[in-house]
Amino acid sequence: MTPALTVRRAAASDCERLAEVHLRCWRETYQGMLSDAFLSGVGPANRLALWRSLLDRPEPAEAWVACDGGTVVGFAGVRRVPAGDATHPVPPPPCGSLELWGLYLLASHQGLGLGARLLEAALGGEAASLWVAGENAKAIRFYRRFGFEPDGAEDILVDWENLREVRMVRAARR
Assign 14 a pLDDT band (cuts: 50, 70, 90): very high
Give dist(CA 75, CA 11) in Å, integer: 12
pTM: 0.91
User: Which residue did the predictor score with more confidence, 56 or 90?
Assistant: 56
- Supply the range of the domain harboring residue 146: 5-170
Q: Note the pLDDT of residue 85.
A: 63
Q: Which of 120, 15, 24 is nearest to 76 (CA)?
A: 120
Q: Note the pLDDT of residue 90.
A: 72
Number of domains within the chain: 1
Q: Note the pLDDT of residue 100.
A: 96
Assign 174 a pLDDT band (cuts: 50, 70, 90): confident
Q: What is the per-residue DSSP string for 1-54?
A: --TTEEEEE--GGGHHHHHHHHHHHHHHHHBTTB-HHHHHT--HHHHHHHHHHH
pLDDT at 44 over 60: yes
Mean pLDDT over the full length of the chain = 92
pLDDT at 139 over 90: yes
CA distances from 1 to 68, 74, 124 (A): 11, 16, 20
CATH number (domain holding residue 89): 3.40.630.30
Residues 82-118 pLDDT 10s: 766 666 667 677 778 899 999 999 999 999 999 999 9
